[in-house]
Structures are given as C-alpha cells and as structure tokens.
Amino acid sequence: TKNYIKAHHNSIKGEIDKPLSDNDDIPEIVYPKNKEIYIAQSYQSVVYNKREHRRLFLTASDFDKISKKGEDVGKLLLEVLTNPNSNLKPIVILGNPGAGKSMFSKMFTAKLCDTVDYIPFLVRLRDVASSSSNISEHINKGIAKTVGLQEINWIEWAKLFKTRIPVILLDGFDELMQSSSIELNGYINSIKALQETALHNDICLKVILTSRIAVMQDVSIPDGTFIVKLSSFDNQRKNLWINIWNSFQTKSKYQFNLPNDKKISELSQEPLLLFMLAVYDFPSSELQKITSNDS
C-alpha cells in the first residue's frame, strides 16, 4: 500500500514537471514546465456564516468588504490546515474560468508530498465517471486511476500513517456537476459528514474542493466553511509571467508583450487565458499589431 501511495505522489509531482502543453503543432515554441512558470496568486478569503452572508454573496460587489486579502494563497492554506477547525470544516477554493485552480491543485499537493506532516491525495473530479454522489467512492476512484488499480479504500490507506494528516484535494467540482445527472447540491455537506466519519476512525481529515464561482452559488455551504477566491493576475504578476515565458523562447527576435488594449488587458487577467494569448501571438506576433484604437 505504501508503494501505491508513493506511486500516487510520484504521479502528482510528475504533473508539475510536465510542460504547460504537449502540443507540437507550433514550430519553435518552447513550453516551460508547470513548476517553472507557476506564480502564487493573491486571494480573498472568508469563513462562511449563513446568518451574515446572503445568497449570491460570492459574486456580489460587497464580497470585497467582508473578505480578507492576501498575496500568497499557498501560504494561507498551509496556515488553515494547522487550524483544528479544518478537521470538521471543508475548505473551498473558487476562481473564474482559467483562474488556475487546477494548476494550484497540482502545485500545492506536490508541496505537501514533501512534508512530514501531511499525506496528500489529489483527485481530479472530471476523471471520476460515477453515477453516485458518494464522495468516498469518488475519492477511491480518483486515486485508483492514478496508480492503475480497480479498487482501493483510502481510509485504510490513511490509517497506515499514524503521524501524518491526510489532505484530500478534490479538483473541479464544477466539472463533476456538469458531467453528472446526480443531485450534487449537498456535496459540501457530504464532505463535512465524511470528515466526521473519518474522525470516528481516529483520522483528522482535511478536504479542499476547487470550483468555478458561478457553480457554487446554488450549492448548500455548511457554516464555518473556509472559502478562498483566487484573485486575477495584477500587472506585476502578468509581467513576471511574461518575463518567464520569454526567457524560455529561443525564436530569433521574439518577445511576447501585451498590447495597450483594454479587452486584451481584461482577458489576460487569468493565467490560463494569458498562456493562450502567448501561444496565439507566437507564430507571427498578431497581438502586437493591435493598437489601443482597435475594437
């Protein structure tokens, strides 16, 4: 079993050693590895309270007023994991499309793999083909897929590590919602129930769930849930990303820069979309032909 867990961890760490893309359709382009170009995002966080937080508060303009702000979401989560409240309260990470939720999931769980305090498991919910809303089944299927097994029991695996805390990161709740015909609006409540069950087995389980913001609006959220919204890239992070990207390119006289264009500026605020703009621009510098007067 420990060898299987090691294989799972190798799979996680292997993801951050992969290039941003394996597409070889564009000659000369060089894709940096995930870990080479990853930039820690700033965030807004809040502890959910049903009485205080009205419905649709996640996209409301007053979220800025009730949330705390910070510059490194990874450091924040390491602090949250040490809080005993997270033994019975899920942690939800939200972001816009292309905000880098999956990239963060890979980077964060890879970091946990190298600690002596935690035993992490990464589950990509889009890979879980299930007609069930049973969260343990989703976890078992997701982990089993990474190590080539048909069936596992993650609780039995976690019991082997008496001095390490299991952290399960469920990436892509929105994708599970879209691909399932099962009612999943109580999914986060199920996470809380799972943590309670784990505690009865002497396991202090931490669970992190990522999702797009819009999907989470109609999902029941338990009191005390720690919610983190990934912030869009500011200009400093954009420039840092662009500098890293350019440093890997070997094409003669090539430099990727964003034009002075409002729409492009808004589009490039999310890491994935910034990457797509860089790929689009690479063959013939199409973006550089745009001026601030273009529509």
Q: State pLDDT tens for residues 75-104.
A: 999 999 998 888 898 999 999 999 999 999
pLDDT digits (tens, 9 = 90+) for 65-75: 778 999 999 99
Which uninterrupted H or E stretch holds 121? Answer: strand 118-124
Predicted confidence at residue 291, as pLDDT, reads: 58
Greater confidence (29 vs 129) lies with 29
**Per-residue confidence (pLDDT) for residue 218, from 0 to 100:** 78
CB 110 within 8 A of CB 16: yes
Instruction: Return the top range by mean pLDDT from 118-127, 174-183, 241-250.
Output: 241-250
Task: Please report which confidence band the pLDDT of residue 56 belongs to, taking 50, 70 and 90 as the band edges.
Answer: low
Burial class (CB in 10 A: 0-12, 13-18, 19+), 151: exposed
CA 279, 272, 76, 171 dihedral sign is: negative
